Chains A and B, each alone.
Chain A
Amino acid sequence: DIVMTQSPDSLAVSLGERATIHCRSSQSVLYSSNNKNYLAWYQQKPGQPPKLLIYWASTRESGVPDRFSGSGSGTDFTLTINSLQAEDVAVYYCQQYYRTLITFGQGTRLEIK
């Protein structure tokens, strides 16, 4: 199984500042044949289902604000939220869909400082 490890488990950032969340996979999720990283980021607010933010590690889902961006390749990935807004308070999850046995990170709770 590919183990996904996020860091930190929680962080508090001031409004208008940048939040950075890391995700590391125990194996590469980069498929050399198409040069795609099978890595997604989701946002989950209390009482709501998860919402897709980023797929293929860096492609923003339609309708997602451009202050959200994803980067990284292979085993190390980053979700960056620029100019943090109050509505960004949520738990963020990374997910690998490279293998048939899909796995999520443990989640990172983002709060306002």
Chain B
Amino acid sequence: EVQLVESGGGLVQPGRSLRLSCTASGFTFGDYAMHWVRQAPGMGLEWVSGISWNSGSIGYADSVKRRFTISRDNGRNSLFLQMNSLRAEDTALYYCAKARGPHYYDSTGYSFDYWGQGTLVTVSS
């Protein structure tokens, strides 16, 4: 059974940092691209960042570019999101999502077939 478990969320002051983790099981983690998607309270889905199977392709939403860094450790079946210079508008439930294939880049991407339950990040003073 595929499982994705996010952790690392919490209450943080504006301007501070937080590191999210996603631990995967039930599939060969290193064979698939992975993504972070967030959802502000009562709002829709916003894709945040994606990474290909071998970390060769990485992308970010404009809203988080140069502040957030995605990474993965295939040996530890883990996905990470380092979030710096946090703002109130980063407050959201952050989901880890598995892509249906290995690649992540123009015309090679895949939809997301499994999602975690999310970890809540609240940015407030």
A interface with B by C-beta (< 8 Å) = 1, 31, 33, 38, 40, 42, 44, 49-52, 55-56, 61, 91, 93, 95, 97-107
**A100 and B106 contact, Cβ closer than 8 Å, known pairs A49-B118, A50-B45, A50-B115:** yes
A22 to B59 Cα, complex, angstroms? 27
CA distance A98 to B117 in the complex (A): 25
Q: Does B112 lie within 8 Å of A40, measured CB to CB?
A: yes
B109 within 8 A of A: yes
B27 interface residue (CB < 8 Å to A)? no
A105 to B107, CA, bound (A): 19
Evaluate contact between B105 and A100: CB separation under 8 angstroms. Answer: yes
Contact A104–B45 (Cβ < 8 Å): yes
List residues of chain B with CB under 8 Å of any chain A CB: 35, 37, 44-47, 50, 57, 59, 61-62, 95, 100, 104-107, 109-113, 115-118
How distant is B107 from chain A, measured CB to nearest CB, in Å? 5
Determine the distance from Cα of A98 to Cα of B105 in the docked complex, in whole angstroms.
8
Nearest Cβ on chain B to A95's Cβ, whole angstroms = 7
Q: Which A residues are CB-close (under 8 A) to B116?
A: 49
- Evaluate contact between B107 and A31: CB separation under 8 angstroms: yes
Whether the Cβ atoms of A102 and B44 lie closer than 8 Å is no
* Contact partners of A44 in chain B: CB under 8 A: 45
Given known contacts A104-B44, A106-B44, A97 and B110 CB-to-CB distance under 8 angstroms: yes
With A and B bound together, what is the CA distance between A51 and B106 in angstroms?
A: 23
Knowing that A56-B111, A93-B44 touch, tell me 7 more A-B residue pairs with CB under 8 angstroms.
A44-B45, A49-B118, A50-B45, A93-B45, A95-B45, A95-B47, A98-B107
**A residues in contact with B47, CB < 8 Å:** 95, 101-104
Question: Are B95's CB and A52's CB within 8 A?
Answer: no
Among B45, B47, B105, the one with the most A-chain Cβ atoms within 10 Å of its Cβ is B45
What are 7 A-B residue pairs whose CB atoms fall within 8 Å in the complex? A1-B62, A40-B111, A40-B112, A93-B44, A100-B59, A101-B47, A102-B35
